[in-house]
Structure 1
Amino acid sequence: MTQSSSTESPAATRAPTPGPARARTVSTRPSRKVRLIQAAVVVLVLAAMGLSTEWRSADAPATRAEAEQTFDPAAYGKETFPKVAPLIEQNAVPLTELVPALVADADAAGEKYGKREGTSPYSFPASAEGTGGELNGSMLSLTVEGLPANTQVWVQVGPAITGTSLRDATGTIKFGDFLNQVQYADAGTALNNEVRTTVLAGVQPATLKGKKIAVTGAFTFLTPEVVTLTPVKFEVAP
Structure 2
Amino acid sequence: MTSSSSTESPAEAGPEPAPTAAPPRPAARRRTVATRPSAKVRAVQAAVVVVVLAAMGLATEWRDADAPATRAAAEQTFDPAEFGAETFPEIAPLIERNAVPLTELVPALEADPDAAGEKYGKREGSSPYSFPVTAEGTGGDLNGSLLSLVVEGLPADTQIWVQVGPAITGTSLRDATGTIKFGDFLNQVQYADAGTALNNEVRTKVLAGVQPNTLKGTKISVVGAFTFLTPEVVTLTPVKFEVTP
TM range (shorter): 0.7 to 0.9
Q: Map of 1:4-83 to 2, 5 A cutoff?
A: 62-83=69-90
TM-score normalised to the size of structure 1?
0.75
Residue 176 of structure 2 is aligned to residue 169 of structure 1: yes
Q: 1:109 to 1:67 in 2, by over 3 A?
A: same
Q: Map of 1:119-198 to 2, 5 A cutoff?
A: 119-198=126-205
Deviation at 1:54, TM superposition (A): 6.8
Which amino acid in 2 is paired with 1:213?
Answer: I
Which residue of the partner structure matches residue 216 of structure 1? 223
In the alignment, the residues of structure 1 paired with residue 125 and residue 74 of structure 2 have an alpha-carbon distance, to the nearest angstrom, of 25
Which residue of the partner structure matches residue 95 of structure 2? 88
Q: How many residues were matched structurally?
A: 191
Deviation at 1:55, TM superposition (A): 7.7
Report SS of the residue matched to 1:107: helix
Which residue of the partner structure matches residue 118 of structure 2? 111
Which amino acid in 1 is paired with 2:92?
Answer: A
In the alignment, the residues of structure 2 paired with residue 233 and residue 53 of structure 1 have an alpha-carbon distance, to the nearest angstrom, of 50
Deviation at 1:62, TM superposition (A): 3.5
Report SS of the residue matched to 1:100: helix
Please tell me the root mean square deviation across aligned C-alpha atoms, in Å.
Answer: 2.2
In the alignment, the residues of structure 1 paired with residue 141 and residue 82 of structure 2 have an alpha-carbon distance, to the nearest angstrom, of 34
Which residue of the partner structure matches residue 24 of structure 1? none
String of CA shifts for 1:167-205, please: whole Å, max 9, x gaps: 000000000000000000000000000000000010000
Task: Flag structure 1 segments of 5+ consecutive residues without an equivalent.
Answer: 1-40
The answer to whether the 8 Å contact 1:150/1:225 transfers is yes
Which amino acid in 1 is paired with 2:231?
Answer: P
String of CA shifts for 1:33-78, please: whole Å, max 9, x gaps: xxxxxxxx9xx99xx8xx976789xxx9943122111110000000
String of CA shifts for 1:7-38, please: whole Å, max 9, x gaps: xxxxxxxxxxxxxxxxxxxxxxxxxxxxxxxx
Which residue of the partner structure matches residue 201 of structure 1? 208
Task: Flag structure 2 segments of 5+ consecutive residues without an equivalent.
Answer: 1-49
TM-score normalised to the size of structure 2?
0.73
Which amino acid in 1 is paired with 2:118?
Answer: E
In the alignment, the residues of structure 2 paired with residue 63 and residue 124 of structure 1 have an alpha-carbon distance, to the nearest angstrom, of 36
The answer to whether the 8 Å contact 1:61/1:67 transfers is no
Report SS of the residue matched to 2:241: strand
Report SS of the residue matched to 1:134: strand
Kindly name which structure, 1 or 2, has the bigger radius of gyration based on alpha carbons.
2
Moved over 4 A (4+): 51-56
Report SS of the residue matched to 2:88: helix
Which amino acid in 2 is paired with 1:171?
Answer: G
Which amino acid in 2 is paired with 1:93?
Answer: V
String of CA shifts for 1:76-124, please: whole Å, max 9, x gaps: 0000000010000000000000000000000000000000000000000
In the alignment, the residues of structure 1 paired with residue 91 and residue 218 of structure 2 have an alpha-carbon distance, to the nearest angstrom, of 27
